[in-house]
Amino acid sequence: MWRSASSHRWACSSCSATRSTSPSAEAVPHIERSALIPFPAADVYALVNDVERYPAFLPWCSATEILSKSETEVVARIDIAVRGRRETLVTRNRLTPTTAIDLEIIEGPFRRFEGRWLLTPLGDAGCRVDLGVSFELANRLVGAFASPFLHHIADRIVDAFAARARDVLG
């Protein structure tokens, strides 16, 4: 459950997550979320990088397919279904093993989409997981209506990965 901590910062009482929005969110929305997860960063990184398993725990993800994979990059197709609407995204994920995954949408309903998962080890406390995303939808009118929903998805995705870590690693 989200509770307000200040005008632009939110704290998640169930997952130690934060939410912030940039002042220029109307131009190119930027979303940031973070969570403290009581598991090693390398293990959580492996869960985030396991695109094939997304349909098992991300409710809006109906299918995935790895199009190419190397030690430093994964290109994947992700089918999403939200409120009766279906979209297919193709992402290029640049990998920095155990610490970061940089995301870029190369095909889909976005004019621009860039994101970054950053995993910071915290010793025995586990790790801090940060997700930052900047996006612009190809259709600005749709973007005006979709932006709040994308913020909601960002909230849910960090929660979903925290729950996945508890289920798989706990």
Distance CA 108, CA 94 (A): 18
Number of compact structural domains in the chain: 1
Neighbours of 27 (CB within 10 A): 9
| Average pLDDT of the segment spanning 137-141 | 69
pLDDT given for residue 21 in this prediction? 45
Q: How is the beta sheet containing 18-21 ordered, strand by strand?
A: 2-4, 9-12, 18-21, 30-37, 127-137, 110-121, 100-107, 85-96, 73-82, 61-69
CATH code, 116: 3.30.530.20
Is 60 exceeded by the pLDDT of residue 145? Answer: no
In percent, the amount of the chain with pLDDT more than 90 equals 56
Is 70 exceeded by the pLDDT of residue 31? Answer: yes
Neighbours of 91 (CB within 10 A): 21
Tokens 């612009």 found at: 136
pLDDT given for residue 121 in this prediction? 98
Lowest mean pLDDT among 23-27, 75-79, 125-129: 23-27
Residue 138 and residue 110 in contact, taking contact as beta carbons nearer than 8 Å = yes
pLDDT given for residue 9 in this prediction? 32
Residue 2 — φ and ψ, nearest 5°?
-85, 135
Distance CA 37, CA 15 (A): 8
Neighbours of 142 (CB within 10 A): 11
pLDDT given for residue 111 in this prediction? 85
Domain of residue 39 covers: 2-169
Is 80 exceeded by the pLDDT of residue 61? Answer: yes
| Average pLDDT of the segment spanning 98-125 | 94
| Average pLDDT of the segment spanning 103-126 | 93
List the structure tokens of 64: 């995935």
Between these two residues, 107 and 14, which has the higher pLDDT value?
Answer: 107
| Average pLDDT of the segment spanning 119-143 | 86
The single-letter DSSP state of residue 52 is: G
Between these two residues, 59 and 17, which has the higher pLDDT value?
Answer: 59
pLDDT given for residue 10 in this prediction? 32
